[in-house]
C-alpha cells in the first residue's frame, strides 16, 4: 500500500506547529524579547523628557522602530534553530526546502503578530498617541510581521550552521527591512493627518511579495550550499 500523499500546505502547517511548540516550551518571545521591547519603549521617554505633545507625536515611530529591531530577534530566535540531525531528517523525509522556509516564515509571522500585540498597549499607555483612524492601521501589523518573518526565515537558512548566526542574522535582515519601517511609520503619520495611506501600504505589500518570491527562488540553492 502506498503511503498517503501529504500536501505542501499540510507540511508547511506542521513545520510551523513544530516551531510554535518549541517556542511555547522556551517562552523566548513572550518572556524575554517582549519585556525587553517594553523596556526600550519605557526608556525612550526618559531620554526625550516629559514633553507630552512631543512624545505623542514620536510615539508611533518609536513603536515601529522597536518592533523592527526586536522583531528581528523574534524571527531569529534560538527556538527556531534546527540541529544538523533535524535538518538531515527533514531532507530524508523529502520535505522541499521551499516548504521548510514557508513553515518557518509562518511561525515567525504568528509570533511577530503576538509581539506587536504585546507592545501596542504599552506604547499607547506611555505615549498617548492620537488614536483617530487607528482601525485603518490594522493592515500595517500583518504586513510588517509577514515581511520580517520571511526575511528572518531566509537569514536563518543562509546562516545555518555558522558560529556567528545570531550576529550575522540581524545584519542581513535589518538593512533590507528598512522599507517596512518607512512604510509603517509613514502610513501611520498619513492616517493621523487624514491623508491616504495606500501608497505606503502598497510599498510594504511589494516588499513582502518580493521577499517571498526571493525565498522561493533561492530556497533550493541555499539547501545545496548549506
User: Considering the entire predicted model, what is its pTM?
Assistant: 0.89
Per-residue pLDDT of the chain (226 residues; tens, 9 = 90+): 444 556 778 888 888 998 899 888 888 888 889 999 999 998 887 777 767 787 888 888 899 999 999 999 898 887 666 666 666 666 766 678 888 889 999 999 999 999 999 999 999 888 888 777 778 889 999 999 999 999 998 888 887 755 555 667 788 888 889 999 999 999 988 888 888 889 999 999 999 999 999 988 988 887 766 5
DSSP string, 198-226: HHHHHHHHHHHHHHHHHHHHHHHHHHHH-
Amino acid at each position: 500500500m502506498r503511503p498517503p500523499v501529504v500536501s505542501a500546505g499540510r507540511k508547511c502547517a506542521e513545520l510551523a506547529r513544530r516551531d510554535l511548540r518549541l517556542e511555547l516550551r522556551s517562552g523566548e518571545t513572550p518572556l524575554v524579547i517582549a519585556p525587553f521591547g517594553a523596556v526600550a519603549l519605557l526608556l525612550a521617554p526618559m531620554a526625550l523628557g516629559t514633553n507630552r505633545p512631543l512624545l505623542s507625536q514620536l510615539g508611533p515611530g518609536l513603536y515601529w522602530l522597536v518592533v523592527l529591531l526586536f522583531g528581528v530577534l523574534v524571527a531569529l530566535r534560538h527556538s527556531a534553530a534546527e540541529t544538523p540531525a533535524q535538518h538531515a531528517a527533514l531532507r530524508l523525509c523529502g520535505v522541499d526546502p521551499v516548504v521548510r522556509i514557508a513553515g518557518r516564515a509562518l511561525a515567525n509571522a504568528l509570533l511577530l503578530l503576538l509581539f506587536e500585540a504585546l507592545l501596542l498597549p504599552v506604547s499607547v499607555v506611555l505615549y498617548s498617541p492620537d488614536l483617530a483612524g487607528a482601525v485603518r492601521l490594522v493592515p500595517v501589523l500583518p504586513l510588517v510581521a509577514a515581511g520580517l518573518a520571511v526575511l528572518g526565515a531566509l537569514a536563518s537558512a543562509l546562516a545555518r550552521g555558522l558560529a556567528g548566526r545570531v550576529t550575522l542574522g540581524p545584519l542581513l535582515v535589518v538593512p533590507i527591512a528598512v522599507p517596512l519601517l518607512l512604510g509603517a511609520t509613514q502610513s501611520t503619520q498619513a492616517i493621523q493627518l487624514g491623508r491616504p495611506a495606500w501608497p505606503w501600504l502598497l510599498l510594504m505589500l511589494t516588499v513582502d511579495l518580493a521577499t517571498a518570491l526571493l525565498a522561493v527562488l533561492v530556497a533550493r540553492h541555499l539547501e545545496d550550499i548549506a
